[in-house]
Amino acid sequence: MIGFRIFPLQSRIDAQWVKKFKTIPVANVSDVMARMSAGGICLRPMHAGGVLAGPAFTVKTRPGDNLMVHKALSMAAPGDVIVVDAGGDLTNAIIGEIMTATAERRGLAGIVIHGAIRDAGTIAKNGFPVYAGGVTHRGPYKDGPGEINVPISLNGMVIQPGDLVLGDEDGLLCVPMEEAAAVYEAAHAKHELEAQILADIAQDKLDTDWIDQALTRLNCEVMK
């Protein structure tokens, strides 16, 4: 039945790309994807710090219900990121300390909740990556419906099962599986360019001629 069904995860982003993208800031990846993809400013890191990277194990659930998230925890493989579209509703928490501990124990790479969490204090002290839209003490229901390993959308960012999910202090991003190589090449070049710019700043060699060139091109009037 549409809306209440479970699929296996048929394919995952190759582990080599997960490892490579871990070294690139999310902002650099976003820049080379035309700044058009983002999980939304409300999805923030709730953990103590550290990079999130891994293939998406997707869950779509009724707001406030975590039955399918429990099932996903029992199905996901080590290194997977459970990504839950709970509609962005913050009334009831989808996960808390127990489910987070379960995910970490099973070797998952992290959890993303388009919704709320609880036990925020414990999660904040832990390095296991958890991203969410908010916090509430009100617990979840366990009645369904929901779907596992279907396409989901987090604030307009479409995630296909197995796509690469990235997260750092700046937020979340999804890299489509089939575009990982091209995106990485461009993001790596961007990262190296910014490293050179920082080195130029440290040596007072930063070239800012481009600013006046842009103003001239845009016909900006400079008053005397």
Q: Is 97 annotated as a binding residue?
A: yes
Residue 153 amino acid letter: S
In-domain check, residue 194: no
Q: What is the pLDDT along the chain (224 residues), one digit of tens a residue?
A: 899 999 999 999 999 999 999 999 999 999 999 988 888 888 999 999 999 999 999 999 999 999 999 999 999 999 999 999 999 999 999 999 999 999 999 999 999 999 999 999 999 999 999 999 999 999 999 999 999 999 999 999 999 999 999 999 999 999 999 999 999 999 999 999 999 999 999 999 999 999 999 999 999 998 98
- Note whether 62 and 108 are within 8 A (CB): no
Number of compact structural domains in the chain? 1
Q: Is 119 annotated as a binding residue?
A: yes
Q: Is 96 annotated as a binding residue?
A: yes
pLDDT of residue 185: 97
In-domain check, residue 195: no
pTM assigned to the model: 0.94
In-domain check, residue 213: no
In-domain check, residue 141: yes
Q: Is 98 annotated as a binding residue?
A: yes
> In this structure, what CATH number is given to the domain that contains residue 167?
3.50.30.40
pLDDT of residue 17: 97
Rounded distance between C-alpha atoms, residue 211 and residue 86, angstroms: 44
For the record, the structure tokens of 126 come out as 């832990």
Where are the strands (E) in the chain, listed by range?
A: 4-6, 44-45, 52-61, 81-85, 93-95, 110-117, 130-135, 146-148, 152-154, 157-159, 164-168, 171-175
In-domain check, residue 40: yes
In-domain check, residue 205: no
Rounded distance between C-alpha atoms, residue 92 and residue 96, angstroms: 11
The domain in which residue 112 lies consists of 9-185
| Neighbouring residues of 118: CB distance < 8 A, sequence distance ≥ 6 | 93, 95, 96, 97, 135, 136, 137, 138, 139
Q: Is 33 annotated as a binding residue?
A: no
In-domain check, residue 159: yes
Which CA distances in Å does 223 have to 36, 161, 174, 182, 220? Answer: 35, 55, 45, 44, 10
In-domain check, residue 192: no
pLDDT of residue 41: 85
**Three-state DSSP class for 172?**
strand
